[in-house]
Chains A and B, each alone.
Chain A
Amino acid sequence: MESLTLPLTEGPLITARDLRKFFPFKKGLFGREMELKAVDGVTLEVAENRVLGVVGESGSGKSTLARMVTALDRPTSGDVLFRGKSVFAMDRRELKAFRRSVQMIFQDPFASLNPRATVFDTIAEPIKIHRLAGKKDIEQKVAGLLKDVGLSREVMHRYPHEFSGGQRQRICIARALAVSPRLIVADEPLSALDVSIQAQILNILSDLKRRDRISFLFISHDLRVVEYLSDEVLVMYLGRVVERSEADRLFEKPLHPYTAGLFASAPAIKARQMSEGPVSGQEKTEAPKGDIPSPIDIPPGCPFHPRCPRRFSPCGKVSPLLMEPAGQPGRLVACHLWNQFS
């Protein structure tokens, strides 16, 4: 791989600093201007060859965050730095190089492929744009990429409708790989797929990390998948980070009640049923009650307090800061009471 000839930088590959994205809207026809706070002050870092998982319910701002990190959307405030340089201050040439280094995979492989382009056209397009191979070598290169994602070169001249969801997602991955990216932002890449197909795709992604040393910003609502793939995890709620931690420590012992609630909601497959039998009448989960509030009407104080089982009166008034909890170096949590129940 050509990138190995360059010395790998010590610093992070990508940094997002205090990102905010507010969408203005009017409540009613003559209502006053208001703001929907989709992302409200998110800071993150992805280092070389690391996977940062992002979890949270729908409406927590995960996808908006992904669009800003890939410079598809401009933040209201804050900055995204790629190898130390602001992507919003880049000139055309630099931005083109950035787009080559950062690729994206989307949730719905049915919507993210051009139905009128063959697999070859789809994968060859970025190679041509970035002039990564001569005319004669393109076919060879596309065949190699297809092989990397477990497809044979015979599929090259077929159209997307001839493929299943899992195969389409493989094509999307091959397209992202065509430019040898350093970071792949994957927004729910597995959720449209069946379980056994999910595992196939997951294996491809972890191979890319191991073999090509690609970093990932991996967005998913599936905690098992995030645990399996991530080195570090960001838990988002209503546009804010409520907890950040190394993956193993997070799954061993979540500090924020929202994280704990998410874990309790995901049905465990092992553990209980063998000894206790399946009937769950008496065993209530610690799952958060109610729905996530609308981002146009974020509760004051801690945004999670209306659903939180452990809240006390200051939670509704004072918003907790994202801080390093005592005795937990390297972790961050935004909760007044993290110490009281973990």
Chain B
Amino acid sequence: MPAIKNSPLLEIKDLDISFTRAKGGVKVVDSVAFSIPSGSIFGLAGESGSGKSLTALSIMGILPNGARAQGSIRFKGRELLGLPAGEMRSIRGKEISMVFQEPMTSLNPVLKIGYQVKEALLAHLPISKKEARDRAVQLLRSVMIPSPEQRINDYPHQLSGGMRQRVMIAMAIACNPPLLIADEPTTALDVTIEAQILELIDTLRAERDMSVLLITHDLGAIARHARTVGVMYAGRIVELAPVEEIFAGPRHPYTIGLLESIPFKNKKGSPLKPIPGSVPPPWGLPPGCKFSDRCSFMIPACQQAEPELEELASGHLSRCIRAREMKWSL
């Protein structure tokens, strides 16, 4: 299927995800929209419970039981929502693949890592077992695992956390997917290993012209690697902007609050200004703007109607009625 010229690789519009359980439904992702061009890293930031991971799972078509996605997810111009299970299976792993947070629980502990990488290849490509083995060795080499010919016979427990995450990445890129989703890929790892893994993902992106959806709560990782950032709060994108703009001049109080929460050098000795309270559950959100009950810029109008995601400058969107008044810098 040839990619359509000038249209983004992935385009999400009006995505809603709701859980239908006992007493009616709860909407946990609400009108999310963003797009990722080829060969670019899109960072999705936000705290736990903001709906980042569910958004990713809906792209892969692997939402948990009881969750339902509505709206549009177009990949290479083709609508993924509502695609028959069989067709989705041929896309998943081949065209779009995913790396998860915890490399220990996502690898099968009783199978050698070589077998697990080969499995990813054999599931999608018409190749012999011998060929699959050679490719598995190559893949492990491309994720910079030393002496891959020997490592291929190791079990997951024989590898460190960083090495396991490299194996996960090798499996994910086995079929050269145009889109890689990395959901908190470094949260369980040490800082030094985190830097290595993010650099690896970025290098693979450049070599293979792959797009990456990088989901993380670490704004530092996004600042260093992403080209565009979406900040999520309570299931909504509250700010969307090119990376250099969002850190130079954030235009949503939640983004400002996140940046204010990070202890920078120049703030030593003076108290931080964290966002008060914590994220309310999806059934306890305030009327109007969902951030209003924690926002220090709140005015009565904020709770009358939910603000739209409005474009302030080319490519810079904010869901705040006072966005044009915001002046903040690092």
Task: Give the interface of A toward B (CB within 8 A).
Answer: 57-58, 164, 166-167, 194-200, 202-203, 206-207, 221-225, 227-229, 248, 251, 261-262, 264-270, 272-274, 277-281, 284-285, 287-292
With contacts A194-B47, A199-B273, A269-B220 known, what are 5 further pairs, Cβ within 8 A? A57-B191, A251-B265, A269-B247, A269-B262, A287-B196
B39 → A minimal CB distance (Å): 10
How many angstroms between the C-alpha atoms of A46 and B329 in the bound complex?
36
Return B172 CB to nearest CB of chain A, in Å: 20
| B160 adjacent to A278 (CB under 8 Å) | no
10 contacts between A and B (CB under 8 A): A166-B278, A194-B48, A196-B257, A196-B278, A203-B274, A251-B265, A267-B221, A278-B225, A278-B243, A287-B195
- Known contacts A196-B257, A278-B244, A287-B196, A270 near B264 by CB under 8 Å: yes
B227 at the interface (CB under 8 A from A): yes
A196 adjacent to B196 (CB under 8 Å): no
Partner of B265, one of A195, A206, A227, A278: A227
Chain A binder among B60-68, B107-115, B198-206, B300-308: B198-206
Question: Would you list the 3 A-B pairs with minimal beta carbon distance, nearest first?
Answer: A267-B220, A228-B263, A199-B274
| Interchain CB contact under 8 A, B278 and A291 | no
Question: B203 touches which one: A57, A207, A281, A291 (CB < 8 A)?
Answer: A281
Q: How far is the CA of A267 from the CA of B225 in the complex (A)?
A: 9
User: Is A291 touching B162 in the complex (CB atoms < 8 A)?
Assistant: yes
B40-51 vs A, CB cutoff 8 Å, 1 = contact: the mask equals: 010000011000
B262 A195 Cβ-Cβ under 8 A: yes
Given contacts A224-B263, A227-B263, A227-B268, contact A285 B195 (CB under 8 A): yes
Contact surface of B with A, Cβ cutoff 8 Å? 41, 47-48, 146, 160, 162-163, 190-196, 198-199, 202-203, 206, 217-221, 223-227, 243-244, 247-248, 257-265, 267-268, 271-276, 278, 330
Smallest CB separation, A297 vs chain B (Å): 13
Bound complex: CA A288 to CA B194 (Å): 11
Q: Please, which residue of chain B has its CB at the minimum distance from the CB of A164?
A: B278
Instruction: Contact check, A264 vs B244: say whether CB atoms are below 8 A apart.
Output: no
**Complex: chain B residue closest to A150, CB-CB:** B276
A57–B160 alpha-carbon span in the complex (Å): 13
- Contacts A251-B265, A262-B192 known; A277 to B199 CB distance under 8 Å? no
Whether A266 touches B191, Cβ cut-off 8 Å, given contacts A227-B268, A281-B206, is yes
Determine whether the beta carbon of B224 is less than 8 Å from that of A272: yes
CB distance from A307 to the nearest CB of B (A): 9
Determine the distance from Cα of A280 to Cα of B212 in the docked complex, in whole angstroms.
14
Other-chain contact of A199, B196, B199, B243, B263 (Cβ < 8 Å): B263
Are B224's CB and A268's CB within 8 A? yes
Q: How distant is B203 from chain A, measured CB to nearest CB, in Å?
A: 7
A274 and B191 in contact, given A195-B261, A280-B225 (Cβ under 8 angstroms): no
A residues in contact with B41, CB < 8 Å: 278
Chain B: CB-nearest residue to A227: B265
Residue from B199, B221, B267, B271 in contact with A284 in the complex, judged by beta carbons closer than 8 Å = B199
Q: Tell me if B264 and A267 are in contact (CB < 8 A).
A: no
CB distance from A235 to the nearest CB of B (A): 12
Q: Is the CB of B260 within 8 A of A199?
A: yes
Interface centre among A166, A228, A273, A279 (most CB of B within 10 A): A273
* The residue from A194, A202, A265, A291 contacting B191, defined by CB atoms under 8 A apart: A265
Known contacts A194-B47, A280-B224, A274 near B218 by CB under 8 Å: no
A279 to B244, CA, bound (A): 11
CA distance A285 to B224 in the complex (A): 11
Q: Is the CB of B330 within 8 A of A200?
A: no
Given known A-B contacts A199-B274, A223-B191, A265-B191, A270 and B160 have beta carbons under 8 A apart: no
Inter-chain contacts of A166 with B (CB < 8 A): 278
Please report the C-alpha to C-alpha distance between residue A264 and residue B163 in the assembled complex, in whole angstroms: 20
A262 surroundings in chain B (CB, below 8 A) = 191-192
Q: Could you say which residues of chain A place their CB within 8 Å of the CB of B227?
A: 278-279
- Shortest C-beta distance, A33 to chain B (Å), equals 23
Bound Cα distance from A47 to B28, whole angstroms: 49
Residue of B nearest to A289 (CB): B196
Q: How far is the CB of A43 from chain B (nearest CB, A)?
A: 25
A32→B36 CA distance, assembly (Å): 57
How long is the Cα–Cα vector from A206 to B274 in the complex, in angstroms? Answer: 14
| Shortest CB distance A147–B (Å) | 16
Query: Could you tell me the distance in whole angstroms from the C-beta of B140 to the nearest C-beta in chain A?
Result: 15
**Bound state CA distance, A63 and B86, in angstroms?**
49
* Residue pair B219, A269 in contact (C-beta under 8 Å): yes
A222 to B218, CA, bound (A): 11
For the complex, what is the distance from the CA of A223 to the CA of B275, rounded to whole Å?
A: 21
User: Looking at A195, A197, A264, A265, which has the most chain B CB atoms within 10 Å of its CB?
Assistant: A195
Q: Is the CB of A269 within 8 A of B330?
A: yes
CB-CB under 8 A from A224, the residues of chain B are 262-264
Cα of A248 to Cα of B265 in the assembled complex, Å: 9
A266–B330 alpha-carbon span in the complex (Å): 17
Contacts of A285 in B (CB 8 A): 195, 199
Query: Is there contact, CB below 8 Å, between B191 and A280?
Result: no
Q: Which residues of chain B come closer than 8 Å to A269, judged between CB atoms?
A: 219-220, 223, 247, 259, 262, 264, 330
CA distance A20 to B190 in the complex (A): 24
Chain B proximity of A166: nearest CB distance (Å): 6
Contact of B272 with A199 in the complex, beta carbons under 8 Å? yes
Bound Cα distance A269, B262 (Å): 9
Shortest Cβ distance from A252 into B: residue: B265
Contact A268 B274 (CB under 8 A): no
Which residues does chain A contribute within 8 Å of B224, judged by CB atoms?
A: 267-268, 272-273, 278, 280
Question: In the docked arrangement, what's the CA distance between A272 and B223, Å?
Answer: 8
